[in-house]
Amino acid sequence: MIENYIARTIDCECGKSHSSNVETIVINNGVIENELVDFLKKNGYKRLTVVCDNKSYAVAGETVCKALDKNGITYKVHKFREEAVAPNEYSVGNLIMGLDTECDIILAVGSGTINDLCRYVSAVVGKEFCTVGTAPSMDGYISGGSALIYNNLKLTFETHTPKAVFFDPDMLGNAPRDMIASGVGDLLGKVNCLTDWRLAKIILGEWHCDFISGIVEAAIEKVCDARDGIAAGDGEACATLLEALLLSGVGMDFAGNSRPASGCEHHMSHFWEMRYLLEGREPVFHGTKVGIGTVIALKAYEYVAKLNPDFDKISGISRASFKEWEKSVKEAFFDASTEIIELEKKSGKNDVSKLEKRLASIKENWAEIKKLAGSVMKSAEVADFLKQLDAPTRPNEIGVEKEMAWQAIMYAKEIRDRYTVLQLLWDLGELENFADMVINEYYG
């Protein structure tokens, strides 16, 4: 199915033409010895830097090295020493220093972080990169954006897509259960972000593409159908999950940004990620946090579906002044607050004039908004799926304290200038009520 969307340009009804730059996607047993080697030979790559960490080396790196040896392809292995490699500027520097500067191509062996680092570094040094993916744990394998932390803020750098990606279904099925669960969390996040995207179209008139949404929605459906197999670690079912995640990546490529793959569920995840990093805590998988964020975001839509706002009164609700807002942001984001404050100065999304304009649109389109909110998959359904994989569904289950959970709901929307259901709740003067309700449910 995914082959239908890559290596070609699609003229779309939305008025844009969509294309993905990734040329080769192979999901096949024995892919390292066969298709990867063929790809390298066919393209004349004779000298590689193989990038991995200890775990991915054991899972696939060793097999890669053996296959390269056997075929007389020269390589240097750059193995990160940390147990959990951080996706930040220090790891970028580490990789640049460990790179064979004469190599023809960088081969990323691993999942999320290894790929984001290789994607970024390969673009910066002007080299191609390709990937042997080891787990269906996130959607970023073929996206053009690299999610990295810079100056304590998680940002998406527009870089480039890999030339080719290779996956072995058996390897995917044998991936640690929490990594598979992370992939499910990241994928279920699309349920929310596609809704956030529609919401932005309704309220702001933001560009939206039904074709892209449709691709991702169909992928979500397939994964829901394969639920039992995924939970059992079946290779084919996990390949279905991976393909869905890749399609979400294609969606980002098609849109030219991460809108079809990232809404407020991701912003909450980014918030916890930044805080954990700042506090030197053990990192939690991206999709695990996204899954938890998704449950909260879908609760937000359920909350919206029950609202009957009195628009005349909403305009009169007193809003935090910029000074008060700045103080709260500093308390929530610590060292990362400088960037958040800069972003708000630029976007002015909380300015009263912009708010009034949005409120007028919300009032006019309220029936449609309410219908959208009522039509989304229920939070309980997503939580059920995650529980089947023994994955956390609430922030307290990954060690997030009450206040940090509350802050995520209140301030995640400040991380990006991107309209989501959390911004809608703020616009309606309901965000704090919603945050209190969820926190009360979770923490008592």
User: Can you give the binding site for Zn ion, defined by CB under 5 A?
Assistant: 12, 14, 186, 209, 211
Q: CA-CA distance, 259 to 189, in Å (whole number)? A: 12
**DSSP string across 331-394:** HHHGGGHHHHHHHHHHH-TT-HHHHHHHHHHHHHTHHHHHHHHHHSPPHHHHHHHHHHTT---S
Q: Which residues contact 440 (CB under 8 A, 6 or more apart)?
A: none
The Cβ of residue 236 has, within 10 Å, a number of other Cβ atoms equal to 14
Q: Of 45 and 141, which CB lies nearer to Zn ion in the complex structure?
A: 141
Q: Of 160 and 259, which CB lies nearer to Zn ion in the complex structure?
A: 259
Kind plus residue range of the DSSP H or E element containing 11: strand 9-11
Strand boundaries in 58-211, DSSP class E: 74-80, 105-110, 128-133, 145-150, 153-158, 164-167
Q: Which residues contact 385 (CB under 8 A, 6 or more apart)?
A: 184, 188, 224, 227
Q: Of 50 and 421, which CB lies nearer to Zn ion in the complex structure?
A: 421
Q: Of 162 and 429, which CB lies nearer to Zn ion in the complex structure?
A: 162
Q: Of 141 and 303, which CB lies nearer to Zn ion in the complex structure?
A: 141
Query: In angstroms, what is the minimal distance from the CB of 269 to Zn ion?
Result: 7
Question: Using the 8-state DSSP alphabet, how is residue 4 labeled?
Answer: G
Query: In angstroms, what is the minimal distance from the CB of 211 to Zn ion?
Result: 4
Q: Is 434:303 a contact under the CB 8 Å cutoff?
A: yes
Query: In angstroms, what is the minimal distance from the CB of 186 to Zn ion?
Result: 4
Vertex 368 angle, CA 317 and 314, to 5°: 5
Query: In angstroms, what is the minimal distance from the CB of 167 to Zn ion?
Result: 18
Q: Of 24 and 258, which CB lies nearer to Zn ion in the complex structure?
A: 258
Q: Of 186 and 427, which CB lies nearer to Zn ion in the complex structure?
A: 186
Q: Of 186 and 339, which CB lies nearer to Zn ion in the complex structure?
A: 186
Q: How far is CA 290 from the centre of its chain?
A: 8
Q: Which residues contact 410 (CB under 8 A, 6 or more apart)?
A: 328, 332, 431, 432, 435
Cα–Cα distance list, 75 to 117, 163, 316, 341 (Å): 18, 18, 66, 45
Half-sphere exposure of 289 (CA within 13 A, CB side): 22
Amino acid making up residue 111: S
Q: Is 134:171 a contact under the CB 8 Å cutoff?
A: yes
Query: In angstroms, what is the minimal distance from the CB of 145 to Zn ion?
Result: 10
